[in-house]
Amino acid sequence: MDILFAALVLGGMGLLFGGLLTLTSKVFAVPSNPVRDAVRELLPGANCGGCGYPGCDGCADAIAAGKAPVNACPVCSAEAAEQIAAAMGVAPADASARLVAKVICQGDIEHCKTKFNYTGIQDCVAASLVSDGNRACKYACLGLGTCVKACPFDAIHIDENKKIAVVDEDKCKACGKCVAACPKGVLDLQPVTRPVRLMCRAAEEGYLVSDNCRVGCIGCERCAIACKFGAITMVNNLPVIDMEKCVGCMMCAEACPTHAIWADWDERKIAEINPEECIGCGMCKRQCQFEAIIGEKKMPHEITSACTGCGACAAKCPKKCITMKVREHTRDRHAKVGTTPEPVLAVKPEAPKPARTPEMEAKIQAALAAKAAREAAKQTETMKETETPVQVAEAEKAE
- CA of 230: how far to CAs of 221, 240, 324, in Å? 13, 11, 22
Domain range 202-266, CATH class: alpha beta
What are the DSSP calls for 119-161, one per residue? -S-S-HHHHHTTTT-SBSSTTS---S-HHHHH-TTS-EEE-TT
* pLDDT-derived band at 54, boundaries 50, 70, 90: confident
Does residue 337 surpass a pLDDT of 80? no
For residue 182, give the 3-state DSSP assignment.
coil
What are the φ/ψ torsions at residue 103 (nearest 5 degrees)? Answer: -90, 110
Say if residues 249 and 289 touch (Cβ distance below 8 Å). Answer: no
Does residue 23 or residue 302 have the better pLDDT?
302
Name the least confident of 9-13, 205-209, 275-279.
9-13
Task: Match domain 97-193 to its CATH number in 3.40.50.20, 3.30.70.20, 3.50.50.60, 1.10.3720.10.
Answer: 3.30.70.20
**Does the structure show a pLDDT above 50 at 217?**
yes
- DSSP per residue, 72-120: --SSS-HHHHHHHHHHHTSPPPPGGG-EEEEE-----TTTB-BSS---S
Q: What is the DSSP string of 306-340?
A: T-----HHHHH-TT--EEEEE-SS---GGG--TT-
The pLDDT confidence band at residue 395, using thresholds 50, 70 and 90, is: low
Report the C-alpha gap between 24 and 187 in whole angstroms: 51
pLDDT-wise least confident of 87-96, 110-119, 312-321, 365-374: 87-96
**Segment among 3-17, 272-286, 301-315, 332-346 with least mean pLDDT:** 332-346
Which range has the top average pLDDT, 43-47, 53-57, 186-190? Answer: 186-190
Whether 56 and 44 have beta carbons less than 8 Å apart is answered as yes
| Dist CA 5 CA 348 (whole Å) | 117
CA atoms within 13 A on the CB side of 364: 6
Rounded to 10 degrees, the C-alpha dihedral 58/61/62/66 comes to: 170
CATH 3.30.70.20 fits 268-335, yes or no: yes
How would residue 344 be classed by pLDDT, with cut points 50, 70 and 90?
A: very low
Q: Are 163 and 178 in contact (CB under 8 A)?
A: no
- Give the pLDDT confidence score for residue 299 in this predicted structure: 92
Mean pLDDT of the chain, nearest integer: 85
First to last CA, the chain: 180
Is the pLDDT at 283 greater than 90? The verdict is yes
Looking at residues 15-41, what average pLDDT do you find?
A: 78
pLDDT score, position 394: 61
Residue 340, pLDDT > 50, answer no
Q: pTM here?
A: 0.68
When pLDDT is averaged across residues 221-231 and rounded to a whole number, the result is: 94
**pLDDT at position 93, please?**
67
Q: Which part of the chain has CATH 1.10.15.40?
A: 30-93
Residue-wise DSSP of 8-53: HHHHHHHHHHHHHHHHHHHHSPPPP-HHHHHHHHHS------TTSS
How is domain 30-93 classified at the architecture level of CATH? Orthogonal Bundle (1.10)
Among 176-185, 205-214, 375-384, the least confident range: 375-384
| Coil, helix or strand at residue 203 | coil
More confidently predicted of 75 and 221: 221
**What's the confidence (pLDDT) of residue 201?**
93
Segment holding 7, helix H or strand E: helix 2-27
Q: What was the pLDDT predicted at 346?
A: 40
In the three-class reduction of DSSP (H, G, I as helix; E, B as strand; rest coil), residue 372 is classed as helix
- To the nearest 10 degrees (0 to 180), the angle between helices 34-42 and 78-88 is 180
What is the pLDDT at residue 356? 65
* 370 phi and psi angles, rounded to 5 deg: -65, -40
Distance in angstroms (rounded) separating the CA atoms of residues 399 and 392: 11
* Residues carrying CATH 3.30.70.20, the chain: 97-193, 202-266, 268-335
pLDDT for res 389:
55
φ and ψ at residue 220, rounded to 5 degrees = -75, -15
Enter the DSSP assignment of 303. Answer: E
Question: How many angstroms separate the CA atoms of 380 and 391, rounded?
Answer: 14
